[in-house]
Chain A
Amino acid sequence: MARAVSVQKKWTYTVLVWIVALLIFFPILWTILTSFKTEGDAILFPPAFFPPHWTLENFTEVQSRSDYFKHFFNSVVIAGGSTLLALIIAVPAAWSMAFSPTRRTKDILMWMLSTKMMPAVGVLVPIYLIFKNLNLLDTLGGLTIILMLINLPIVIWMLYTYFKEIPVDILEACRMDGAVLWKEIVYVLLPMAVPGIASTMLLNIILAWNEAFWTLNLTAAGAAPLTAFIASYSSPEGLFWAKLSAASTMAIAPILLLGWFSQRQLVRGLTFGAVK
């Protein structure tokens, strides 16, 4: 009896999860399907689910009109660079907060998080002026720095949570074994925190890849990443749904693949603290 109920429950949950997942995934699927339609088919009403005439024309057109690979390269540099930079700063910061906390540690953590509570547009003008004065506008370096800065609080929080799970005894044992600080971090802390660091890294890459506010406001042509590339298709000349979809598909494909292949790592990392 109990067994029948639990099987039924399991099925209900499975079906529910599928429905929710499909709902979430549907816009992405729709975008991808639309990118294979002709402009005419894309605005049919009632809409056709599958493209009536499959075509790759949108992709070739998008590539020839605006250089996809240049934007792709910019996105990789900005997302990868800001993540790496954030980790380099966050690992020691999280280490010190997790393993030698002071009375103020909790306050500092809250303060860091509070910087995420202000809308970005609130600091647009000062940041824009600073960038302008430092000649950082439309440069890869400038964008890398700003994306690192906006994600740093999250990175530090996540690493702090993972580091807290590591028994301090083990680090002390390591010190007794004659390890200096950098060896303690490299040989013991980082290997033990690998799942946490990996998921922090992945999440940060995804956040940086999709970040649109700063990338749109601080770039023109030179350093524009894929987000700016997509935005350029909703232009005054009118909306071209199929081309916009093709551009979006090309922009999200790399990160979608990355997420797909590392989903196990991501899930494990994100639930690491919760289950233990």
Chain B
Amino acid sequence: MGSIILRNVRKVFGEVEVIPNVDLTIEDGEFVVFVGPSGCGKSTLLRLIAGLEDVTSGAIEIDGVDVAKEPPARRGLSMVFQSYALYPHMSVRSNIAFPLKMAGVSRDVIDSKVEKAASTLNLTGYLDRRPGQLSGGQRQRVAIGRAIVREPKAFLFDEPLSNLDAALRGQMRIEITQLHQTLATTMVYVTHDQIEAMTMADKIVVLNAGNIEQVGTPLELYNNPANLFVAGFIGSPRMNLLTPPPPGRDGAATIGIRPEDIQLSTEAGEWPGKVRIAEHLGSDTFFHIDVDDVGAITARAPGEFALSAGDAVWMTPNPERIHRFDGEGKALR
């Protein structure tokens, strides 16, 4: 079991209000991802759940019990840090065994659990090494091993993959997703990475300046962003936001259209423009196009599309995929 409920959680550092007032429900077994710009309070929120920071006010319920005043050791949660935070003076075996030792588990049980975790994480051959003798990916696996042995109510991850190179990150992403499927334990995961958020999450929480902007499944956020902030934050390259809307698209203060929802043509279309930059990725081509009276627009064409800088181009937005926002930035539905 591991449901987490935050009620009116507020956090102030000195004079600075970092989290004004957060309400959030995380269901048992859910994979929840916190995303948001740097400094928006993702880590702070995670550390409040962990107990590494005290709430200024509000309640944090784990399985229905308010733990806001409990120290981290009593909350039954595991955490994986960006820096791995392994104990450098202990072997990999002792690192993984440490939480069990703290819980007073017997020697035999510790040994069998450590062996099991090590084989799940492909660490069996490394148990007698020190963390300093491992690669970044292996260290991260040890950190995960240390987190899973004690069978916590929930796992907390703070940007666990951001110190790894791109290939390893992709692989670890899949391993963590598989781990979640096997263990079916609640996971709360903080990341900067759009791909991690979209691929791993059951539920994404978008934070901005300590406030929750929107909570939903990845595709809900992608297809129906509740406001301009979420529209601009989720999706890469980001949604084109046009204020005011171009002629013929009235009825909203701002309209948004994702790059892939724009049909490109060299002959005819709704908006004429001129290619400023063309990025050929092979699988896709991104165009940054200057449009008179509208501004710069990013469009995405599948596969190769033979246009280069300076070429004239016509664009037509898919009318069903146009997002409309009012003067306050709220989505009009």
Contacts of A174 in B (CB 8 A): 87, 98
Chain B interface residue bracket vs A: 20 to 34
In the complex, the number of residue pairs spanning A and B with C-beta atoms less than 8 Å apart equals: 57
For window 245-268 of A, CB contacts with B under 8 Å fall at none
- Report B93-111 CB contacts with A as 1/0, cut-off 8 Å: 0000011001100000000
Known contacts: A172-B52, A173-B79. The answer to whether A178 contacts B103 by CB under 8 A is: yes
- Report A149-177 CB contacts with B as 1/0, cut-off 8 Å: 00000000000000000010110111111
Partner of B87 from the list A175, A176, A183, A188 (CB cut-off 8 Å) is: A188
For window 172-202 of A, CB contacts with B under 8 Å fall at 172-180, 183, 187-188, 191-192
A192 B89 Cβ-Cβ under 8 A: yes
Partner of B85 from the list A173, A179, A180, A191 (CB cut-off 8 Å) is: A173
B149's nearest neighbour on chain A, judged by CB, is A177
B99 A177 Cβ-Cβ under 8 A: yes
B89 A169 Cβ-Cβ under 8 A: no
Contacts of B81 in A (CB 8 A): 169, 172-173
A169's nearest neighbour on chain B, judged by CB, is B85
For window 77-94 of B, CB contacts with A under 8 Å fall at 77-79, 81, 83, 85-89
B102 A176 Cβ-Cβ under 8 A: no
B50 CB–A CB distance under 8 Å: yes
A169 B83 Cβ-Cβ under 8 A: yes
Give the dominant DSSP class at B's interface: loop
Contacts of A179 in B (CB 8 A): 73, 102
Query: What separation, in Å, do the CA atoms of A34 and B263 have in the docked complex?
Result: 100
Within the complex, the shortest CB–CB distance from B65 to chain A, in Å, comes to 17
B137 CB–A CB distance under 8 Å: no
- Report B282-307 CB contacts with A as 1/0, cut-off 8 Å: 00000000000000000000000000
- Report B122-155 CB contacts with A as 1/0, cut-off 8 Å: 0000000000000000000000001000100000
For window 48-74 of B, CB contacts with A under 8 Å fall at 50-52, 71-73
Query: What separation, in Å, do the CA atoms of A175 and B70 have in the docked complex?
Result: 12
A175 B71 Cβ-Cβ under 8 A: yes
Contacts of B83 in A (CB 8 A): 167, 169
Residue pairs across A and B with Cβ atoms less than 8 A apart, 5 shown, are: A173-B85, A175-B71, A179-B73, A187-B98, A191-B89
> What residues of chain A have their CB less than 8 Å away from a CB belonging to chain B?
167, 169-170, 172-180, 183, 187-188, 191-192
Closest 10 CB pairs of A and B: A173-B85, A169-B85, A177-B99, A178-B102, A176-B79, A175-B72, A178-B73, A191-B89, A170-B85, A169-B83
